[in-house]
Chain A
Amino acid sequence: MVEYINLFIKAVFIENMVFAFFLGMCSFLAVSKSLKTAFGLGIAVVFVNIITAPFNYIILSVMLEKGALSWIDPSLADVDLTFLSFILFISVIAGTVQLVEMIIEKYLPALYSSLGIFLPLITVNCAILGSSLFMQERAYNLPETVVFAGGSGVGFFLAIVALAAIREKLTYSNVPDPLKGLGLAMLITGLMGMAFLSFAGIQL
């Protein structure tokens, strides 16, 4: 149990998707102008992440890994299809996002209209594909994958909500014109990243 809590804390704070690996930067910068949309996108990312990473894990272990196909025929035990993982992972993610989009459109129309074009953008959000790829590279098992995916989703949520809150305040401050918008957002993200560095080494 303790190691799962450790993994979760690590994924949220120490190896935060945004501040330590720069994943999900595009939507992180584009959607963080208002707190409300940032909140919605953060929730959507957590949700999609928790669904796709375990699903990708199952695909990886049942179909792609070396020896995984031996349940069809023993002669297939040597087949290693891991090179197909990129294509399958991204297809699963694209399909899931489409599904989530339809569900939100049906049951939460207010959220749907405020998220607008950003829902399809989750497909190309590196944080989602990133957690599937980290899962493959670090060889997590199924419960670890779920905890890690949840943790990295929550980490993204935390980061985007914090940045949106700061940027809402910043609209009233007096900064040099060329630095307005993107430039300032980058510098602030850097400062927040430095703050998150102080979590390094924490273990429960």
Chain B
Amino acid sequence: MAKYELMINGEAAVIEAAADMPLLWALRDLQGLTGTKYGCGIGQCGACTVHVNGAPTRSCLLPLSAAAGASVTTIEGLADGGQLSAVQKVWIETDVAQCGYCQAGQIMSATALLNVNPSPSDEDIDQAMSGNYCRCGTYIRIREAVHAAAAYYNAGDKA
């Protein structure tokens, strides 16, 4: 057991856990941030996607020791001062979710995409979102929502 310091959603956190504990379980079980989901544990479903230093990352594969010192944003950290992000807003307006389980990961990937590419094409979206599986098949709405969020983004709203 060692202590790891990192920033989670803008706040300093100290986590005492095994070095190989994936960030996913540290967030869920030790930090109480259960918005980040466990799906496959092998980095193939994307339900556990968080931002590590701004980059979309599968938290189920990232050992805590490797996350030390990093700045981590989870789905709980997207809304800013009670204001939903543009992606969150359009996700509601587009009624994207069915069961909703994968959507935290989808939203984190979509947000990361828009941060680097504010006007993505369908192909850009398909590529950036290909690691996020949706069992309910909400892909068509996800595409719609990312385009709609891009419009918000380009109108000056934070993604």
A and B are interacting partners: no
Which A residues have a C-beta under 8 Å from some C-beta of B? none
Which B residues have a C-beta under 8 Å from some C-beta of A? none
